Amino acid sequence: MKHTHYNHSNSGILMSPMFTKFHGKKMPLRNSFVVFILMLLFSCQEDAVAPVKEPNPLMGYLESFLEEAEKRGVEIDTSGLVLVLVDVVYPGASLCGLGNKRLPGLPPEVRICKICACWVNGTSYYRNELLFHEFGHALLGRLHDNGKLPNGSKKSIMNESASGSSFWQGEERLKYYIDELFDPSTPVPDWAK
């Protein structure tokens, strides 16, 4: 279609023939403007294709947690789980992570501070322990447990201070700490007596 531009009478606005014809007559400028606005509105509708979301970098930790739960016969309800990296975990507090258990009307939630030094500089051991600790709050309803084993080691991953030590001190210790996370009545291991 050939588009010639016309100067609409006295308006100084250039109009294409498709905007100036209306049932064989020139369309008044007011109607041309309405048609133009309607075309803009309809052309701004979202595409039918859903936008691609970036993968959640915390999902691997959740999958690992769920695998450990399954090994121990523990069923975990993750429905509605909010699992996010944020700039601030909780306003006014310098926390690296926060886990909230499911409450009436609220989903379980795990928030990790993506810009905090504890996360940015944290080892993979630290990050694993932090996420398992927060999943303990959010998905198992566990509270902090600052108890000590007979040898002075922390009793639980649910200790207030995550260090990553539960995940780097060898398979035997790791097994105990994960067993204890899913079952707080896990007996004291030989290495801790």
Q: How far apart are CA 58 and CA 56, in angstroms?
A: 5
Q: Do residues 30 and 91 share a domain?
A: no
Question: What is the domain count for the chain?
Answer: 2
Contact 133, 157 (CB under 8 A): yes
Q: Do residues 11 and 67 share a domain?
A: no
Give CA 112 to chain center in angstroms. Answer: 9
Q: Is residue 180 part of a domain?
A: yes
Q: How far apart are CA 66 and CA 2, in angstroms?
A: 63
Answer whether 0.75 is exceeded by the pTM.
no
Q: Is residue 49 part of a domain?
A: no
Q: Is residue 157 part of a domain?
A: yes
| pLDDT given at position 16 | 39
Q: Print pLDDT tens along the chain (193 aa).
A: 444 333 334 433 333 344 344 445 555 555 555 555 555 455 554 444 545 567 899 999 999 999 999 999 999 999 999 999 999 988 888 889 999 998 888 899 999 999 999 899 988 889 999 999 999 999 999 999 999 999 999 999 999 887 777 777 788 899 999 999 999 999 999 999 9
What are residue 109's DSSP bridge partners? Answer: 82, 100
Q: Do residues 96 and 33 share a domain?
A: no
With 0-12 CB in 10 A as exposed, 13-18 as middle and 19+ as buried, what is 52? exposed
Domain residues for 97? Answer: 59-192
Q: Do residues 133 and 85 share a domain?
A: yes
Element (H, E) at 171: helix 171-182
Q: Do residues 39 and 64 share a domain?
A: no
Q: Is residue 1 part of a domain?
A: no
